[in-house]
Structure formats: C-alpha cells, structure tokens
Amino acid sequence: MKFFTKSQSHPRKGSERSSNGKGDAVMTRTTADERQADVIVVGAGPAGATAAYHLAQTGLDVLLLEKTAFPREKVCGDGLTPRAVRQLTRMGIDIDAPGWIRNHGLRIVGGGHHLELHWPELSSFPDYGLVRTRYDFDEILTNQAQKVGARLHERTAVTGPVLDEATGRVIGVRARTVDDKGRRTGDETEFRAPVVVAADGVSARLALAMGWQKRDDRPMGVAVRTYYTSPRHDDDWMESWLELWDGKPGEGKLLPGYGWIFGVGDGTANVGLGILNTSSAFGKVDYKDVLRRWLLNTPEEWGFRDHNMVGEIRGAALPMGFNRKPHYQDGLLLVGDSGGMVNPFNGEGIAYAMESAVIAAEVITEALARPDGQQRELALSAYPRALDAAYGGYYTLGRLFARTIGNPHVMKYGTRYGLPRPLLMKFTLKLLANLTDPRGGDAMDRVINAMRKMAPAA
C-alpha cells in the first residue's frame, strides 16, 4: 500500500478517459502511479463530488471514478431545501449564477387547503431553498472538486473492491471503461488507495460486494418524475401535494402517494410523486399511470398533459433511514444513498448525501494524517458514530412517521385537521425538513431537538 502525504501528492495529470473540467473526455494513457491515490471516491453524484471536494481541499490526492459522462440525466425532483443550500455555499458554488431558482418555502396542497409556509429563519440555515436540474447540478459540484485538485475519470464503471488477501481490507477498486450506454469499452484496471469512499448511490455496488445487505426493516420509497413545459416553471414555492385524486377532489378515487411540482425556471416544471413501502400500494401499482391520472386532474392551463411532456417519466428507489450498514468497515465508507441516507420524513436525499460526505472527509483527513495501522483505524471508526450522532435519533422518528402515514386514514385525518392550523404546520415543516437551530432556537426547535436526542439511533 502506498500513501501520499500532502507534499507527495500527485500533480494533476491527464489520464485515460479523464475530463478536462469542461466535460470533454481527454484520451491519454493511465500510468500505474496515476491509478494510485490517497482516497478513491466511487460515484460523482452529490455525495461523491462533495467528498472529493472537501478531501482535495485538504491537499489529499483524490481519484473520483464515475461511470457516466457529464452532463447527464439523473432522475430526481431537483428540489433543494435550505439544508442543501448550506452545503452548496460551503463549497463555494455560485448560486447567484443563472439556472438557480430560489424559493421562499413550501406550498402544501391537500384536504381542500393551500398553505404557504416560509422556510424558518434560523442561524444555522438560510431562509431559502433552490431548484436546479440534476442535468448539470452534479457536474457543477464535480467541477468544483476538480478545481481544488480532485482527478475525475468519467465513463469508468467500478465493478468491485480490491481486497488485501491477508486482511480482507479494501485497498482499491477494479473498474472498466464504458460507453454512454454502459457497454464495456476497455480492459479491467485496478485503482489503489488506502481508503475508498462508496458514493455509488442506491445501487450500492461496492457495499453489496462486501456483503452489506439493505435492511428491510427500514423505510424505502420509490419515486417517478418527468418534466412538462408549463407556465408554472417560475414558481418561487416548492409545491407538495398530500392527496392525489383520480377524478374530482373529495369525490373521485384517492390515489396512493404524495406529489410535487417544482418549477425549474427554464420553461419546464419537474412534476413527480413518491410512494413509501409502508403503503399497501407499494410495488402493486403502475406509478407512471398514477402520475398521469393525478395530473389529468390539474388545471389544463398548467400544461401537465402528455403533449407538453419533455422526456420520459422515469423513476428510482429512495433508500431511507440508514437502510444499509455498516457505514464504515475495512477501509470502505458509505456516503449518501449507498448508506441509505434519504430523510424518511420528506424523501430529501441531496442534503444528506452532501452532509455525510463532509463528515466522511473530516474523518478521512484525520485518519490519513496518522500512520497506517491501529491509530488510523481508530480515526476511521469515528465515522459511523458521527453519523449516528447527527441523524440516528431523527431517522428513528422518521421510521415511525413513515409507518404512521402508511395508513391512509391517519394521513387523511392529519391533512383535514392539521393543515388549517398554521402553528402546528410550522412545527411540522421544521420537523419534516429537519430545520432547527441546535442551540438558541425557539421553543419548537427545542422540542424537536429533544425528541431527536431521546429517540434511539436508527
């Protein structure tokens, strides 16, 4: 094993299938040295790009391996709460540039009510959210990581970990180059580093290769979305629908799931719905059909009809509440979706992907400043504890919440009687979006923080 200290760090070199920071593939040969790094990060989504940025900032040599090439479509609602905004500004992303659409808060629709709730005013988080299409969101984050020295290899699909034969420890990854359709284009190559970060999303290929299965006693969601050309493209509220009706609201058939309408600001709106596995409809309905039937019921002038659809309806799974553990073992750390970090209260995953990446980067930086061996291992073992401290209690509450709202009667009751009560809804927004001040907050913050602390870690 080779470990590069700050002073020994590689200068950035062109490498096979590497990118020049503008998204163009640069074809050169990779030398053995270029396949060696201090840290390998697998996957350049929000988790991987953020981890690569913070690690490279400290002077570590970081290899970021991504199976696709930017820009690329990524199935998402494109909504960013103030939690995610805080991480973006921390990375120095210019959110005043064109393409970032600000919003004031959440508009909740259900039970015959429309309620607009401003994001809370807090010292820890900004009071606005953003919408930005994932078509280039991940690329912007990755470019930022490259600017501080991370080495990106696009179209490089990781196929599994490389293990030390004696210890079983992860000492690198195997990968092969692929084309836009994921078809193999080259031989398998090994990349080596003393620490590997799995940021490969819900597929969790690396974790699975280690035998780290997902836990079925944790909530899981599935969500579908598409884009429509719509006059609602510049809405400065994120809109959430608690009831989806097939037919006239209150009279037709209540459809399963919760919907959203997020204006992307480019003439289109991102519209989608999510269903939790605590719902009896999970896995038994055609989600695309449910989306269409709900939208047929929305006003014609909003444009949510097939002839205005831009691209297909596409979906993916939402792994929630720490549904995959351990988050660290044998040289491999899980960040973001690979570790099941989507918030079970609201389906938000980007902020948690970025925050877990920050925690992982801090732990790795400390670990790599120590000699290889027991002291380094001790530093790395802090990662799962730090995650539990940050989200463990909250995700346990989220699991209970997901179970409760799986019952449609509870949800119907909550919508009817909860929505007309602004104070209760203000509390609910803070709880669901995980937006409180840890110290010096208001009474609601203190109640939520106490609940979070009292709940056992997920």
Ligand X SMILES: Cc1cc2nc3c(=O)[nH]c(=O)nc-3n(C[C@H](O)[C@H](O)[C@H](O)COP(=O)(O)OP(=O)(O)OC[C@H]3O[C@@H](n4cnc5c(N)ncnc54)[C@H](O)[C@@H]3O)c2cc1C
Residues that bind ligand X (CB under 6 A): 42-48, 65-68, 75-79, 157-158, 199-201, 203, 205, 223-225, 272, 315-316, 318, 336-337, 342, 348-351, 353
CB closer to ligand X, 304 vs 376: 304
φ/ψ bin of 115: left (φ > 0), alpha (ψ from -120 to 50), beta (otherwise): beta
Q: How far apart are CA 15 and CA 180, in angstroms?
A: 18
CB closer to ligand X, 262 vs 376: 262
Q: How far apart are CA 341 and CA 321, in angstroms?
A: 6
CB closer to ligand X, 291 vs 376: 291
What tokens does 396 get?
């346990």
Angle at which helix 443-454 crosses helix 422-432, to 10 degrees, equals 40
- Chain residue at closest Cβ approach to ligand X: 349
Beta strands in 183-237 (DSSP E): 184-192, 195-198, 220-229
For the CB of residue 142, give the shortest distance to ligand X in the complex, in Å. 9
CB closer to ligand X, 175 vs 376: 175
For the CB of residue 73, give the shortest distance to ligand X in the complex, in Å. 11
Helix (H) or strand (E) segment spanning residue 332: strand 332-334
For the CB of residue 339, give the shortest distance to ligand X in the complex, in Å. 8
Q: How far apart are CA 45 and CA 297, in angstroms?
A: 34
For the CB of residue 440, give the shortest distance to ligand X in the complex, in Å. 27
Q: Three-state DSSP class for 209?
A: helix
CB closer to ligand X, 194 vs 272: 272
CB closer to ligand X, 357 vs 405: 357
- The b-or-e profile of 26-51 (16+ CB within 10 A means b, else e) is eeeebeeebbbbbbbbbbbbbbbbbb
For the CB of residue 386, give the shortest distance to ligand X in the complex, in Å. 17
For the CB of residue 94, give the shortest distance to ligand X in the complex, in Å. 20
Residue 180 Cα to chain centre, angstroms: 23
Is the four-CA dihedral 350, 114, 231, 127 of positive or negative sign? Answer: negative
Q: Read off φ and ψ for residue 286, nearest 5 degrees.
A: -85, 100
For the CB of residue 7, give the shortest distance to ligand X in the complex, in Å. 30
CB closer to ligand X, 61 vs 78: 78
For the CB of residue 103, give the shortest distance to ligand X in the complex, in Å. 12
CB closer to ligand X, 288 vs 416: 288
Distances (CA, A) of 106 to 40, 119, 208, 304, 446: 38, 7, 36, 20, 22
CB closer to ligand X, 34 vs 66: 66
For the CB of residue 180, give the shortest distance to ligand X in the complex, in Å. 12
Name which of 274, 295, 272 is nearest 285 in CA terms. Answer: 274
CB 83 within 8 A of CB 355: yes
Q: How far apart are CA 273 and CA 262, in angstroms?
A: 11
